[in-house]
Structure 1
Amino acid sequence: MKIKKWIAAGLATIMMTGMLTGCGKNIDVTKEDGTVQSDTATQAEDGEITTLTWWVPLEGSASKFIQSYNENTAYQEAMKRLGIQIEFIHPAVGQEKEEFNLLFLGDKLPDIISYAQFYTGGEFQGMRDGVFLDITDQLPEYAPDYYKTLTEDEEFYREATDENGRVTAFYGYKPVGDPPFRRWILNENLLAELECEIPETVNDLEAMFDKMLAKGITPYMPEPGDRPGYEQQLMGMWDILRDFYVDNGKIKFGQMEPGFKSYLELMNKWYEKGYISKDFTSIEATEVNTLFDTGKIGTFLGPIVANYNRCEALGIPVTAAPYTRLEPGQKLHWNDCDIWPKMNYNASVAVISKDCSNVQAALTFLNYGYTQEGAELYNWGVEGLNWDWQGDKRVYNDTMLENEFGTEEASYIYKVHFGPLLTWPDIECHANLLKSEGALNSRLQWADDPDVDSALQLPPFQLNDEEQQRLGEIENEVFTYCDEMVLKFITGAEPLENFDQYVETIKSLGIEEAIALEQKGYDTYMSKKVIGE
C-alpha cells in the first residue's frame, strides 16, 4: 500500500478542486419508456417523485435530538435538488448488527443498505450471493462522478473492488488524510508543577510518571475497551500492530512477534511500578475523563480536540504529546490516522439491494456525494443555514456553533459526517475544530512529523466466503487466547519467561494458516490493475 503524508489544508483544497467534476443539477435519468432525459429529478410524467428506502444506523449522539436522517437538513436539500425522496430506516442504537442480520430474513430488502461490510463474508460476498447488486457496468452512465473517483485513484480502486475488479458498494472517500487525532493528553498546570517538559521518549514518560507517583497521582490509564491491554502508540515503537499487518509485503501477526514481547515487558514494568492504574481492565471511558479532570490520573491517550474542548470548559489547560519514541528521531511506521482513501465507518459503505425499486435513481442519489456540489453540501451543510461566506472563505454560523445540540452532534443533524461521499479533511470543515482556534492548534501541534507513516497498515481487502469463514474460526480462538494472555503478562499473573510457549500455543491454534490466507488476500489485492491500465 503506498505511503501518503498529511498535506496542509490549503493544498488539500486545491487537490480536491482539481479532482472533482461538477454535477450541477442536471442528472441524466432513464424514463419508464427507456428514453433518457436530462433533468433535476427522477420523476414520472404524472409528477410523482421517486421514493427509495435506505437502511442506515443513526449516529448515537444525534439520536438524542432527531428521530431520523429525514430530519437532516443536508439530506433534505439533496432530495430537493435531485427530486428523489429517501425514507430512512434506522435500527435501534446499539443493536445495529443484530437488526442488520434480520434484514435478510424478511420478504423484501430496503433499496439501499449501509453497514454492508457486516454481511457474512463482507459486501463482496453479498454481491456473489446475489443479495447486493453488482453495479460495475452501470457506474459510467449513472454514477459517473463515483466512477471517475474510483478510476483515478489506484489505491481507492483496489480497496473498492473485489478480486475480479467488480464494484458493489459506494464507499466514503477521503483523498487527503486527516492529521492524527489521538495522543497523550496532559494537564499543563500539572506539567508546570512537576517541572516537566512535554514527554517525547519512553525515558521522558517514566521520569514524569515518577514525579506523578510522588504526588500520589496514578500516572497512566490505558484506553478501556473490549480488548484492553493493547496500546498501539506504544506497540508501534517496535514496528508491530495488533493482529495482522504487512511488513515489506509479508503478512505478520503482531502478538507473536519478538517486538510484542518487548512491548509486554514495558507494560509489565509499568504495572509493577504503579505507573498503570490497577483498574484499567474494567473502567469505562467516561470514568477516565473524570479521573483526569479531578487529578486522580496524570495522563491517558485520547482524542485531542474532544478533550481540549471538555477541559477548556472546566478551566483545565491541556496539551498533547507527540508519538512516543524509544529514542529521539526514531521513525515510526504504524500511524493509524494515515489510512485512506477508503473510509470504513459503518455508515460509509452503502450497497443497492437486489429488491431496489429504481436502481438508476439509487445510483444517481449515491453518486451525488462525489460531485462538487454534493460534496460541498454534505461536508459543510446548507449555505445560509449552516455557513456563510466571509470573502472567499466559508465560515460556520451560530446554527452550527451555538445550538442546543453541541457541535459534534450538529455534524450529524445538519451535515453528512460519515457516509458514502467525498469527504474533506476535518481540519477544513469539522465544526468541533473550527469553533476554537485553540482546539485546532492542539490538533495540529505535532501533525507535520516527517518520521511517521503507515507502512505497516494492512489494506482493507476481503477474502471469499470459504476463506473468510475459516479465517474467522481461527481468529476467534487466537484472539480470545491472546487477549487473555496479554492481560496476564501485563499484570504478572503469567511470567514473560513463558512467552515462547505462548507463541507455540498460538501456532497450534492455526495462526500460520490464517497468515497464509491473509497473504493470499493481500497479494491478490496488490495485483489489481485499474480499469484502462
Structure 2
Amino acid sequence: MKNNAKRYFSLLFVLILIISTVTACSGNSANNGADKGVSNNKENESTAKDPVEFTDISADIRGNTAPTQEQIDEVNHSLNDTYLGDVFDEVIPNDYSAYPVKGDVVLDVWMPANSNIPDMNNHAVQKQVEQLTGIKVNFITPPIGQEADAFTLMISSGELPDIIIEPGRYPGGFEAGVNDGAYIDLTDLMEKNAPNYTKWRNSDESRRKTTVTDDGKLLGFYGIAPYSEWTWFGTLIKQEALDKTGLEVPNTIDEWHTFLTKAKEVGYKAPLNYGSTYGQIFTGIINGAYGVWDWTFLDENGNVAWGQHSRKLRNI
C-alpha cells in the first residue's frame, strides 16, 4: 500500500462520514439522502472546536525502519498524517477537529457488495475508522448479482438509509432522485458540514465545476484528487519488442499493423501486455477504431451483433 493510502482513506471516507451532520435517519424518504445525507438529531451534530494542532512527526517516522511503540501508536491510533509530508504539489485540507464526534452516531450505508471484502462491517480498517471518527457505520450490502433488485425494492419502500453508494442507480439519475424527494440537495449544506471537502472543491474552478450540475447544484460527494487520473487500462508494448522491430510506439491503426506484422516477422510472439484480467482483451483499445466497443457493434443497417462477429474486426 502506498504511503499516502492513510491520507486518502481518511480524506475520502471522512468526506462521506462527515455528512452525519446533514443526514436524516427518520426513514422518511423526503428526509433521506443518497451518497450523502442529513440528520436532524442534535446528538449527531459534530461540535465545532479549535483546529487540532498535530505535531509534525515526519522526521521521526518517514523512512524509520525501527519506530518506537509511541510512534506506531501515533500513526495507527490518531488522525495525524503529517509524517506523510506533502506528497502532491497541492495541500489537501485536513482539519480533523470535528473528530471524534460526540454522542452515539450510527450511519446506515447501502453499498453494493465487494467480492474482495466479504463483510465491510467486520473489516479491520473500517473498525479503526470508526474508533478515530466516533461514527459507527452499518453497511447494508445486497448479495452479489442482486444489487439492481435490492436497490429497486429499497427505493420503492421509502425506507432509505443515510447514505447510498452508487446513487445514480435511481431511475433518471441524481436529479430525478432530488426532484422526487428521495435524495437531498446538498448545495447549501456543504460549507458548514463538510469544510474540508468544500475547501478542496473550491480551491480550483475546474474542480468546482465538475462537481455540480448545470444548474449549479451539488448533489453528492465526488471523488476528486490532486492529480490527473493515472493510466489503468490499455495496451502495453514491451520495450524489448520495440528494440527487436526497430520501430517507434505506434499511434495509428496503420502503424499498429506495421508493428504487429514486423514483430511476427522477427519472431517476437508476445509483444503486448493487454493488462486485462476479465477477457475483454480488445475492449476500447484497437477495436474502437472500427466502431466496435466492448463486445457489441452496430452494422451498416443499425443491427446489434456480437463484436467478435464483426467482419471489420476479423479483417484487422
- Normalised TM-score (structure 2): 0.56
> Is 1:16–2:60 an aligned residue pair?
no
Q: Deviations over 1:425-463 (max 9, x none)?
A: xxxxxxxxxxxxxxxxxxxxxxxxxxxxxxxxxxxxxxx
Q: Which amino acid aligns with 2:312?
A: I
Match of 2:310 among 488, 496, 514: 488
| Equivalent residue for 1:264, pick from 290, 310, 316 | 290
The correspondence of residues 12-411 of structure 1 with structure 2, limited to 5 A, is: 13-17=87-91, 20-24=92-96, 26-27=97-98, 40-43=100-103, 49-60=104-115, 62-63=116-117, 67-186=118-237, 191=241, 195-197=244-246, 199-201=248-250, 202=252, 204-211=255-262, 213=264, 231-232=284-285, 263-264=289-290
Tell me the distance in 1 between the aligned counterparts of 2:237 and 2:214.
46
- 8 Å contact from structure 1 (residues 264, 489) kept in 2: no
SS at match of 2:222: strand
Q: Percent same amino acid at aligned positions?
A: 18
Q: Kindly provide the amino acid, as one letter, of the partner of residue 109 in structure 2.
A: W
Corresponding residue SS for 1:180: coil
Residues 337-395 of structure 1: per-residue CA shift (max 9 Å, x gap):
xxxxxxxxxxxxxxxxxxxxxxxxxxxxxxxxxxxxxxxxxxxxxxxxxxxxxxxxxxx
Q: Give the gaps of 5 or more residues in structure 2.
A: 1-83
Amino acid at match of 2:151: F
Shift of 1:131: 0.3
Indicate the SS of the match to 1:124: helix
Structure 1 position 132, deviation (Å):
0.7
Task: Determine if contact 2:108/2:161 at 8 Å carries over to the other structure.
Answer: yes
| Structure number having the greater strand percentage | 1
CA deviations 1:32-83 (Å, max 9, x no partner) are xxxxxxx63240xxxxx211110112322x13xxx32223333322211221
1:484, distance to aligned residue in structure 2 (A): 3.2
For residues 485 and 94 of structure 1, the distance between their equivalents in structure 2, rounded to whole angstroms, comes to 23
Cα distance in 1 between the residues matched to 2:225 and 2:258: 40
Determine if contact 2:186/2:218 at 8 Å carries over to the other structure: yes
Shift of 1:158: 2.1
Distance in 2 between residues matched to 1:57 and 1:111, nearest whole Å: 15
SS at match of 1:54: strand
Are the aligned partners of 2:190 and 2:198 in contact in 1 as well (CA < 8 Å)? yes
Task: Classify 1:153/1:93 alpha carbon distance in 2 versus 1 (closer, same or farther; 3 Å).
Answer: farther
Q: Which residue of 2 aligns with 1:6?
A: none
86-95 or 206-215, which deviates more: 206-215
What is the count of residue pairs matched by the alignment? 225
Q: 1:167 to 1:84 in 2, by over 3 A?
A: same
Tell me if the contact between 1:227 and 1:483 (Cα under 8 Å) persists in the aligned partners: no
2:268 and 2:285 mapped to 1: Cα distance? 27
The aligned amino acid for 1:16 is E
| 1:495-514 alignment, distance < 5 Å | none
Aligned partners of 2:86 and 2:159: how far apart in 1?
A: 42
**Larger RCO (CA within 8 A; separation ≥ 6):** 1
Shift of residue 144 of structure 1?
A: 1.3
Distance change >3 Å, CA 204–CA 88, structure 1 → 2: same
Between stretches 210-219 and 104-113, larger displacement belongs to 210-219
Distance 1:173 1:220, change over 3 A: closer
Distance 1:96-1:228 versus aligned 2 partners, 3 A rule: farther
Structure number having the greater helix percentage? 1
Task: Name the CA distance, whole Å, in 1 between partners of 2:305 and 2:280.
Answer: 9
RMSD: 4.3
Q: Contact 2:112 / 2:147 at 8 angstroms: preserved in 1?
A: yes
For the 8 Å contact 1:224–1:281, the answer to whether it is kept is no
Give 3-state SS (helix, strand or coil) of 2:137's partner.
strand
Using the alignment, how far apart are the partners of 2:286 and 2:215 within structure 1? 36
TM-score, scaled relative to structure 1: 0.36
Q: Secondary structure at the match of 1:88?
A: strand
Contact map agreement 1:55 1:112 (CA 8 A) in 2:
yes
Q: Distance in 2 between matches of 1:233 and 1:16?
A: 36
In structure 2, distance between residues paired with 1:491 and 1:99: 38
